[in-house]
């Protein structure tokens, strides 16, 4: 197992063959390797380069590389990595056939659906371990295991074994094989992704806390990932902040299940030009980087297009990374505040003998205070924040603006040399106040409200959530390839005297993971004073849902009060 934090580049999101049409090729992979080495000259640390999904030939049983994408296989990539001191890694499925055919040696392990392989019967697992060993011999030092299905068994076993017996036997066989592989190759790093009893936890940020993770996986893997980045069920005007909140909440969920923070791979840093990261480019990347490190996982993963980061951005990246990786090695990381999915303030602490960093977030739509775990007598300093609202530190508390993220230095870290500036592409309003709330009847897919006397200045922020009888009801029009963007499915409309009023939205994206909310803003400067405004909020979801809508006034005038009674309005 790991004895110190590591940094892993994963090239998924620089390409995307699931929610997009950008394919993995040798040219793309090598270009990202050169970008990795460029950033390393600026001080950014990378220890591993993980080759993600679809490198393999569909008929090769993970032994051969796909052609024509890799004309001579991985030789050039492996050689360049090893020459540069970068350890190669490979993505593989645990026991499912993802865009591949069943190898001859695996056929007697195949289930009746021809989708997954039994681990305790037939030739699959023994041959699979031989494949891993062969890649280890060629320099691969990390394996990313994805899409496990431990319910798989051939039909002859299903007739004589209970489903629970099959699952138990598959898990035992797979764990035993990986423990033996690790014992033979003690320097290998194994990381777990989809299929390891984690799917129920990752669906919603309002899922009740429930024990769903088998801690025995910690004996096999260096880290367990806690979900692909996606928007939370907490509505935000800044779409990217909702993604931050999702990963924050999943880390808390895994922590509650007994997984140490150091063993949780939050997988949240993802820049890129493909559908898997919703075409974010580098939008709000600075806060995303800080939070990915503040969560405390020792397997620090960075996905996507490294070519998007210029020299100055690379130097900033290196500065942030150096501060946090030093603390990951020696400090106590912990969480405080509320659960992120509640819409109330929370934070991550990294302190060593009282000195270190606090990273805090207010996911709600009103300003809010959060008590900080600051040792007595320690100095504090704001090192980084979103633009707009200026957070206030006072008597061991911080006042945060709506949707705001802040990094605080404590003790030795409260020094100007650690200043990281302001995130200009995330702007937080100075003031926010709740004007109205209204709720639809069951199965009423459109909700209208009239604001009789709209403000003359500032902006009106409309927040709509859709829920079913259980909780947030996520809704998706599919990925970009053949899907529909969410702005056409969760619709915010405003008019004044029959004239359509522009509503600015940031969620109008093809969102493969679904969305349960819509947030938009209207510039009050375009409104006629003293004339009512009619708001219509609509969902195209045909399931039985209920709409909840809140209307806020936000503006950028100097804040004078910090309202702490309520942090959200609605969830």
H helix count then E strand count, the chain: 9, 27
Beta carbons within 8 Å of 437's beta carbon, 6+ residues apart: 548, 549, 550, 551, 569, 570
Residue 496, φ and ψ in degrees, nearest 5: -140, 115
For residue 522, pLDDT beyond 90: yes
For residue 488, pLDDT beyond 70: yes
Look at residue 200 in the predicted model and tell me its pLDDT.
67
Q: Distance of alpha carbon 536 from its chain centroid, rounded?
A: 31
Name the residue among 538, 518, 524 with its Cα closest to residue 460. Answer: 524
Q: Are 170 and 216 in contact (CB under 8 A)?
A: no
pLDDT digits (tens, 9 = 90+) for 112-131: 999 999 999 999 999 999 99
Look at residue 561 in the predicted model and tell me its pLDDT.
39
pLDDT digits (tens, 9 = 90+) for 147-161: 999 999 999 999 999
Query: Quick one: residue 396, left, alpha or beta (phi over 0 = left, psi -120 to 50 = alpha)?
Result: left
| Window from 151-155, 439-443, 561-565 with minimum mean pLDDT | 561-565
Task: Report d(CA 519, CA 511) in Å as an integer.
Answer: 15
For residue 303, pLDDT beyond 50: yes
Look at residue 568 in the predicted model and tell me its pLDDT.
39
Look at residue 480 in the predicted model and tell me its pLDDT.
66
3-state secondary structure 86-125: CEEEEEEECCECCCCCCCHHHHHHECCCCCEECCCCCCHH
pTM: 0.95
For residue 413, pLDDT beyond 70: yes
Task: Report residue 558's pLDDT band, with 50, 70 and 90 as the boundaries.
Answer: low
pLDDT digits (tens, 9 = 90+) for 352-371: 999 999 999 999 999 999 99
Task: Report d(CA 440, CA 420) in Å as an integer.
Answer: 45
Look at residue 199 in the predicted model and tell me its pLDDT.
65
Residues in the chain: 571
Look at residue 564 in the predicted model and tell me its pLDDT.
38
For residue 250, pLDDT beyond 50: yes
Task: Report residue 89's pLDDT band, with 50, 70 and 90 as the boundaries.
Answer: very high
For residue 372, pLDDT beyond 60: yes
Task: Report residue 567's pLDDT band, with 50, 70 and 90 as the boundaries.
Answer: very low
For residue 95, pLDDT beyond 50: yes
| Window from 105-109, 199-203, 279-283, 346-350 with minimum mean pLDDT | 199-203
Check the CA dihedral 119-124-127-128 and report its sign: negative
For residue 560, pLDDT beyond 50: no
Average pLDDT, the chain: 95
Task: Report residue 143's pLDDT band, with 50, 70 and 90 as the boundaries.
Answer: very high
Task: Report residue 562's pLDDT band, with 50, 70 and 90 as the boundaries.
Answer: very low
Name the residue among 436, 440, 507, 425 with its Cα closest to residue 474. Answer: 507
| All domains of the chain in start order, with CATH | 6-330 (3.20.20.70), 336-428 (2.60.40.1180), 431-555 (2.60.120)
């Amino acid at each position: 197992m790991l004895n110190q934090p590591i940094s892993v580049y994963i090239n998924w999101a620089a390409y995307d063959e699931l929610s997009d049409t950008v394919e993995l090729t040798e040219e793309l992979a090598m270009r990202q390797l050169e970008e990795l080495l460029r950033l390393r000259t600026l001080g950014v640390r990378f220890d591993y380069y993980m080759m993600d999904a679809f490198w393999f030939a569909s008929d090769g049983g993970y032994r051969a590389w796909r052609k024509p994408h890799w004309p001579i296989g991985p030789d050039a990539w492996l050689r360049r990595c090893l020459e540069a001191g970068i350890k190669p890694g490979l993505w593989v499925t645990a026991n499912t056939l993802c865009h591949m055919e069943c190898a001859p040696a695996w056929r007697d392990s195949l289930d009746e659906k021809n989708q997954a392989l039994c681990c305790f019967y037939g030739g699959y697992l023994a041959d699979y371990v031989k494949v891993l060993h062969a890649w280890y011999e060629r320099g691969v030092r990390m394996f990313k295991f994805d899409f496990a299905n431990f319910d798989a068994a051939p039909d002859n076993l299903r007739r004589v074994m209970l489903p629970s017996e099959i699952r138990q036997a598959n898990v035992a066989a797979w764990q035993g094989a990986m423990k033996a592989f690790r014992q033979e190759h003690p320097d290998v790093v194994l990381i777990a992704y989809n299929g390891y009893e984690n799917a129920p936890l990752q669906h919603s940020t309002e899922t009740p806390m429930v024990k769903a993770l088998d801690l025995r996986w910690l004996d096999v893997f260096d880290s367990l990932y806690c979900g692909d980045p996606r928007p939370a069920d907490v509505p935000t005007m800044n779409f990217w902040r909702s993604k931050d909140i999702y990963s924050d909440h999943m880390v808390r969920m895994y922590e509650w299940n007994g997984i140490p923070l150091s063993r949780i791979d939050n997988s949240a840093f993802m820049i890129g030009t493909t559908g898997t990261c919703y075409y974010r480019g580098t939008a709000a990347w600075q806060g995303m980087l800080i939070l990915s490190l503040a969560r405390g996982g020792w397997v620090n993963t960075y996905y996507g297009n490294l070519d998007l980061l210029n020299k100055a951005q690379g130097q900033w990246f290196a500065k942030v990374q150096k501060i946090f990786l030093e603390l990951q090695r020696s400090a106590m990381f912990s969480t405080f505040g509320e659960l992120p999915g509640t819409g109330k303030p929370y934070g991550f602490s990294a302190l060593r003998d009282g000195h270190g960093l606090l990273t805090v977030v207010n996911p709600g739509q009103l300003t809010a205070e959060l008590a900080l775990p600051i040792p007595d007598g320690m100095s504090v300093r704001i090192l980084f924040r979103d633009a707009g609202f200026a957070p206030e530190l006072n008597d061991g508390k911080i006042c945060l603006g709506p949707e705001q993220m802040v990094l605080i230095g404590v003790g030795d870290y409260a020094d100007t040399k650690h200043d990281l500036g302001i995130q200009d592409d995330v702007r937080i309003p100075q003031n926010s106040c709740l004007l109205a709330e209204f709720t639809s009847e069951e199965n009423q897919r459109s909700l209208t409200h009239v604001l009789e006397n709209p403000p003359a200045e500032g902006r009106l922020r409309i927040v709509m959530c859709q829920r079913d009888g259980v909780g947030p009801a996520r809704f998706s029009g599919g990925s970009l390839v053949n899907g529909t963007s969410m702005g056409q499915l969760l619709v915010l409309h405003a008019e004044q005297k029959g004239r359509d009023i522009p509503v600015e939205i940031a969620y109008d994206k093809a969102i493969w993971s679904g969305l349960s909310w819509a947030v938009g803003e209207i510039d009050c400067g375009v409104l006629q004073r003293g004339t009512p405004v009619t708001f219509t909020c609509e969902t195209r979801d045909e399931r039985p849902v209920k709409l909840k809508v809140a209307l806020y006034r936000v503006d950028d005038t100097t804040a004078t009060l910090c309202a702490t009674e309520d942090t959200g309005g609605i969830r």
